[in-house]
Chain A
Amino acid sequence: MIRCILCMSIACLVGSALRAQPRAPSREQKEFAQSCGFCHGEDATGARAPDLVRSPLVNRDAGGDLIGPVIRGGRPDKGMPAFSLPDDVIKDIVAYLHQRVDEAARSSHVGYDYPLARLLTGNADAGRAYFNGPGRCASCHSVTGDLAGLAKKYPPLALMEHLLAPPGGAVTLTVTTASGERISGKLAHLDDFTVALRDASGWYRSWPRGKVKVSVQDPTAFHRDMLGKYTDTEIHDLFAYLESLP
């Protein structure tokens, strides 16, 4: 949770600079595809011959100490011929295989450079109708006001997650003491036992929860309630609409 919000904040700072471009194949990838791709697949995930990303030998290799001899000597018992390739080509192939293993091991990282095209499966017109209609977005937001230029401010993935769960921080509290004094301010802490806020002068104040009355004003509460109600179609339509805004 904390991790995600932090990433989103960082992502916001860099904004649209992170909109990803597809990468050109590296020299190592080309060397692998040319010499090994026909049997092991151009991305090393296997074809006629085994998936090398999952290969124990590749995973145990250090700098070509295990892969090199297999390339040079082949595996005649399994139908793999010997390859007489220059050392620098073998080095490239080894580097590419390690890169592929590393990519698989880190494939749980979904970064804020995630491509817009993959997220853009919704219908912007339907999104506009939802925004102004059943979604009730227009009752708090304006596409020419607070949301103007939204798509330029955030990478696509951050925009998707902001629309579902806007970052908190704006929660305010009003505490009424036994003597009837009312103090309002920004939430500092709230649990079953203690309530704390920063009052208008900036001072931190806290009370035992049982001794005071507390009312919470959370402008993002509506967004949280909606998390249990949205359909994926509504989310993607809304996203397409917000992405389309000038």
Chain B
Amino acid sequence: MTDALLLRGLKLAPFFLACLAACAQGLDPAALRHAPTDTWPTYNGDYSGRRFSPLNLINSANVRWLTMAWAFQAKSQSIKSTPLEVNGILYFTVPENIWAVDARTGRQVWHFHYRADGGDRIGHRGVAMWGDWLYFETPDAHLLSLDAKDGRVRWNIVLADVKLGYFATMAPLVVGNRVIAGVSGDATDIPGFLVSVDPETGKEQWRWYTEPKPGEPGSETWPQNSDAITHGGGMTWMTGTYDPGLDLLYWGTGNPNPVLAGDARPGDNLYTCSIVALHPDTGKLAWYFQPSPHDTHDWDAVQTPVLFDADFKGQPRKLLAQASRNGYFFVLDRTNGRHLLTAPFIENNWASGIDPRGRPVGLKEKEPHADGRLVFPGSDGATNWMSPSFDPALGLFYVVARRVYSIFYYTATGKPEGWAGRDHDLWAESTIRAIDYQTGAIRWNHELGPGESIAGILSTAGNLLFTGDAQGNLLALDAVTGQTLWHVNAGGSMEMSPMTYLLDGRQYVVEGVDGVLYAWALPEK
């Protein structure tokens, strides 16, 4: 332990002691500093965002016997959340709804419904937990804290004004005595931000805005003497990651606004479509890297910034990797944001190359235009919110990659507002790819067929990768080769990212299909 770490530990000690007394049944936030082995206490399972479980009871030798342990019928819209598993209870969501379900049996413990006043119900990623309390964002951009025992609301605060076009879907992230929450909404030209609140009271601790204030560093990447920078978008709608050793929070930001209107905002438009490192105590920016400078195709860079320590070209490094919606795979040094690798993980026709800072260079003629421009990937992205996964033993980064061909129309005739146009999809097919993080080389490719797969990925020490295809099949693949080892037609579409846990010595894999949650396990002996 370094001196800095020791100091931080001492600073937090009274808080940990207080929690240990109060958190007998709940979740001690200090425990999150070490990757859990048998539970799934955060959206991504742990702070690293790897979605790799060390569990191996289900493995490549026995997965063909995998069978249904239980199913839970939420009778809801499609489940896009990853359940948390803490003390034998699963907590998962769809917009306006939380369920607590017995992780052994799939029986409901409680259900909570919230009636939002407006907002967007496009999807919901899940909840966060701190002590005995849950944290839940709503379509009308509120943040609720609830009692994990019974779903009773403790407090309800407004994160952003739904009347301006904000809404919320993401699962917050707990870091020490902070709940970090992001927001959504790019139909109108509003600024994105990330907010940190006190888990006990809901009192705001800091707010980081995606756009710098006029005159601050980064503001030179926006047109001057215009209102562009104060209406620049950059939503924070996916859960970030955290390095307890470096004490840095990593977050991806969304597209700039107006969405397709590049000419209205010449410049790189920082810090939209960026990966930012923030100090969790203050919300101050430590560094940034921008996967899509001056985006005009809705390619949010919100995909999980995955953290791992590994050799890079013979040197041990603290790395951050992202497979970004624009079709490029990026590897950074997460201590300082320095760029190490940029490589396309799927075909594209929008970039002419990569600049010395590792950023793709967009072609002006592939920006949206009134006459329509054929671009791949389309705005749905080469990948999107569906989780990637990183297997540290194999050194492989897994991503759901899509060939999406699309035609982009820019429709504004005066000053653009909102989206100012859209793309129409022409054709799409999907594949799962295993990327060598040191070179960007595709080690294996598993074609999924026509359509856009929106199922996330879980990898495990059982040498397995769990995901779904666009035809309604759930799949378990061999993590080394990409070969299918198990599959089932679950009767619908998997639109969430799977998770796993161990209970009573039995490993479960949980996957959502439409409004049904399935738990898979090996047959009981």
Query: Interface of A with B (CB < 8 Å)?
Result: 1, 3-4, 41, 43, 45-46, 50-51, 53-54, 56, 59-60, 101, 103-110, 114, 118-122, 157, 160-161, 164-165, 189-194, 224, 227-228, 230, 232, 235-236
Contact = CB atoms under 8 A, between A and B. Distances in A.
Interface of B: 161, 163-165, 187-189, 227, 231, 258-259, 347, 349, 365, 370-374, 376, 405, 407, 409, 411-412, 414-422, 424-428, 449, 451-452, 469, 471, 473, 484, 487, 489
A164 B365 contact: no
Contact of A160 (B164, B189, B372, B422): B372
A120 B422 CA distance: 18
A104 B374 contact: no
19 contacts: A1-B452, A41-B415, A45-B414, A51-B227, A54-B417, A104-B417, A105-B418, A107-B417, A107-B420, A114-B409, A118-B371, A164-B374, A164-B407, A165-B427, A191-B469, A192-B484, A227-B374, A227-B376, A228-B376
A45 B420 CA distance: 13
A46 B415 contact: yes
Contacts of A56: 161, 164
Given A51-B227, A110-B411, A105 B188 contact: yes
Nearest to B404: A1
Contact of B365 (A59, A105, A192, A232): A232
B474 to A, nearest CB: 11
Given A4-B425, A107-B421, A110-B422, A191 B376 contact: no
B374 A43 contact: no
B373 A232 contact: yes
A164 to B, nearest CB: 5
A228 B404 CA distance: 10
Contacts of B258: 107
A232 B376 CA distance: 12
Contacts of B161: 56, 60
B17 to A, nearest CB: 44
Given A121-B371, A190-B449, A228-B349, A53 B427 contact: no
Contacts of A53: 417
Contacts of B489: 193-194
A57 B487 CA distance: 54
Nearest to A121: B371
Contact of A165 (B164, B417, B418, B426): B426
Q: Which of A106, A120, A164 is most buried by chain B, counting CB atoms within 10 A of its CB?
A: A164
Q: Is the interface of B mostly helix, strand, loop or mixed?
A: loop
A107 B372 contact: no
A146 B329 CA distance: 44
B418 A45 contact: no
Nearest to B428: A1
Nearest to A50: B227
Contacts of A1: 425, 427-428, 451-452
Contact of B487 (A51, A101, A192): A192
Nearest to A53: B417
Nearest to B366: A232
Contact of B473 (A46, A114, A119, A192): A192
A104 B188 contact: yes
Contact of B426 (A41, A164, A236): A164
Given A59-B164, A118-B370, A161-B407, A107 B419 contact: yes
A143 B231 CA distance: 49
B421 A108 contact: yes
The 9 closest A-B pairs by CB, nearest first: A108-B419, A104-B417, A45-B415, A165-B426, A104-B418, A107-B418, A118-B370, A191-B471, A227-B405
A43 B414 contact: yes
Contacts of B372: 119, 160, 232, 235-236
Nearest to A115: B370
A121 B349 CA distance: 21
B390 to A, nearest CB: 25
B417 A232 contact: no
Given A59-B163, A104-B188, A107-B420, A165 B449 contact: no
